Chains A and B, each alone.
Chain A
Amino acid sequence: MKRVVITGAGTINSLGQNVPDTLEAMREGRCGISELEFRDVDRLAIKIGGQVKGYDPEAVFNRQQLVLYDRFTQFTLLAAREAMAQSGIVFAGDLAVKSGVVLGNSGGGLTTQDENYRAVYEEGKNRVHPFVVPKLMNNAAASHLSMEFNVKGPSFTVATACASSNHAMGQAFHMVRSGMCTAMITGGSESMLCFGGVKAWEGLRVMSKDACRPFSATRNGMVQGEGAGIFIFEEYEHAKARGAEILAEVIGFAMSSDASDIVMPSKQGAARAIAGALKDAGVKPSEVGYINAHGTGTAANDKTECAAVADVFGRHADKLMISSTKSMHGHLIGGTGAVELLACVMALRDGVIAPTINYEEPDPECALDVVPNEAREANVDVVLSNAFAFGGLNAVLALRKL
């Protein structure tokens, strides 16, 4: 089996429009969640989100591009350009054919759908723009990356709700580890912050009206975010031969299905994915120094996740650190695992553990070291990133310092 390393990272999210700004915000425990700004927001009960602000699409993309790029595709392209520049990899010849794009996404071009449904239903129009379908399809972002970077191997999009990005990156990892591909552009993106997108989530009544407070006894729900995180996964010898800077090694991945409920999480399902990732990576539980939690800030997720971690790690659960950066950037749904993997890379490379901000009061059901409110310096060698989706689909990645 081949070894798999990360040679490039890129992002845009409510904390920053590139990796350095995002990591700085995480180090400082800054909150990217603010008042939502879009049409009809006054008709929503939930008015906050991790919205990307100060971003002008027309400054980056031309008119012909914007006709085809929904906001989630724009985010994906911007993050991928940063990751590709850092990696320095150029897809040409055999390398192009042996490389692919696997992205996580849940809602596709939801803003495009929203705008066009509004036009035909509310405004009574009988005609929509001819590119509505290629703009809203949730493989649009993967396709545009393949075109922009000349990637000619297997490319597709994975949709497993809140675990989409982790499932996508796990797939990319498998494809490089098996020797099927030399390099993969992977990660995920989401942009559901529009009237219809937030209205749908409101219906579930799991959204907080004021803040995302994972693991805190005072938590009252999740807050949505938007953005993208993109990584270049590359076969180790290939990266070494071309002198690429290696950010971290991907060492394990596991998936499980709860097979129980469409929304309620299961401790057993989560625990099987966590334990599976450790086994796949060939590491002992005691080697894990940090877990980037799924940590949505809902009552159900946070206590179930802590119980699963306690089950898998036993006594070591009290020694490791576990934090939820969703407290800062919100829940990016299909893109969330990708942005959260940045916190894992920061832990391994910079020895900085991103905090769980908005932490107010301990919850006996979440009695782990959640790195409350302030980032911490710590030397960790192995980290995990958890994602547990609606539908009971779980995906956990393991990374190591290299």
Chain B
Amino acid sequence: MDIKDKVIEIIAEQAVLEPSDVTMDSTLEDLGIDSLGLVESIFAIEEAFDISVPFNANDPQESDFDISSVASIVAGIEKLVQEQKS
């Protein structure tokens, strides 16, 4: 399973949706994922890829990690996996 599919699977589980209902341009708000759901998703992503995601729940805007859409999250994770695994 590639990174995109795995991230979508994690987000879908959090949103209690089927992965097919999660599109790349969905926002977390569209999917009904609140701030706690986001923190939990990031935890699951870190576990799945054994990476550390620079995300500060106190101040998401200040974090060096773009959560504006599923696509931006996937892109961010792909970059982190490449950086942290190389």
A-side residues, CB < 8 A to B, are 64, 67, 127, 129-131
Contact sample, A vs B, 15 pairs, CB 8 Å cutoff: A64-B16, A67-B40, A127-B43, A127-B46, A127-B47, A127-B52, A129-B40, A129-B43, A130-B36, A130-B39, A130-B40, A130-B42, A130-B43, A131-B36, A131-B40
* Interface set, chain B 20-43, CB cutoff 8 A to A: 36, 39-40, 42-43
For the complex of A and B, 6 pairs with smallest distance between CB atoms: A130-B39, A130-B43, A130-B40, A127-B46, A129-B43, A131-B40
Specify which chain A residues have a CB less than 8 angstroms from the CB of B52 in the assembled complex: 127
Specify which chain A residues have a CB less than 8 angstroms from the CB of B40 in the assembled complex: 67, 129-131
Q: How far is the CB of A65 from chain B (nearest CB, A)?
A: 12
CA A131 – CA B47 in complex, angstroms?
Answer: 15
- In addition to A130-B39, A130-B40, A130-B43, 12 A-B residue pairs with Cβ atoms within 8 Å of each other are A64-B16, A67-B40, A127-B43, A127-B46, A127-B47, A127-B52, A129-B40, A129-B43, A130-B36, A130-B42, A131-B36, A131-B40
Specify which chain A residues have a CB less than 8 angstroms from the CB of B42 in the assembled complex: 130
Q: How far is the CB of B33 from chain A (nearest CB, A)?
A: 12
CA A130 – CA B46 in complex, angstroms?
Answer: 11
Contact string, B59-70, partner A, CB cutoff 8 A, digits 1/0? 000000000000
Specify which chain B residues have a CB less than 8 angstroms from the CB of A127 in the assembled complex: 43, 46-47, 52
Residue of A nearest to B41 (CB): A130
Specify which chain B residues have a CB less than 8 angstroms from the CB of A129 in the assembled complex: 40, 43
CA A131 – CA B34 in complex, angstroms?
Answer: 14
CA A64 – CA B42 in complex, angstroms?
Answer: 15
CA A127 – CA B42 in complex, angstroms?
Answer: 11
Residue of A nearest to B38 (CB): A130
Residue count of chain B within 8 Å CB distance of chain A = 9
Specify which chain B residues have a CB less than 8 angstroms from the CB of A130 in the assembled complex: 36, 39-40, 42-43
Specify which chain B residues have a CB less than 8 angstroms from the CB of A64 in the assembled complex: 16
Specify which chain B residues have a CB less than 8 angstroms from the CB of A67 in the assembled complex: 40
CA A64 – CA B32 in complex, angstroms?
Answer: 14
CA A67 – CA B36 in complex, angstroms?
Answer: 11
Specify which chain A residues have a CB less than 8 angstroms from the CB of B16 in the assembled complex: 64
Residue of A nearest to B46 (CB): A127
CA A131 – CA B40 in complex, angstroms?
Answer: 8
Residue of B nearest to A62 (CB): B16
CA A376 – CA B42 in complex, angstroms?
Answer: 58
CA A129 – CA B46 in complex, angstroms?
Answer: 10
Residue of A nearest to B57 (CB): A130
CA A129 – CA B52 in complex, angstroms?
Answer: 13
Residue of B nearest to A125 (CB): B47
CA A182 – CA B43 in complex, angstroms?
Answer: 43
CA A234 – CA B47 in complex, angstroms?
Answer: 48
CA A65 – CA B46 in complex, angstroms?
Answer: 21
Q: How far is the CB of B18 from chain A (nearest CB, A)?
A: 15
From A67, A127, A130, A131, residue with most partner B Cβ within 10 Å: A130
Residue of B nearest to A129 (CB): B43
Residue of A nearest to B42 (CB): A130
Q: How far is the CB of B32 from chain A (nearest CB, A)?
A: 12
Specify which chain B residues have a CB less than 8 angstroms from the CB of A131 in the assembled complex: 36, 40
Q: How far is the CB of A284 from chain B (nearest CB, A)?
A: 55
CA A129 – CA B36 in complex, angstroms?
Answer: 11
Q: How far is the CB of A143 from chain B (nearest CB, A)?
A: 14
Residue of A nearest to B43 (CB): A130
Residue of B nearest to A67 (CB): B40
CA A86 – CA B43 in complex, angstroms?
Answer: 40
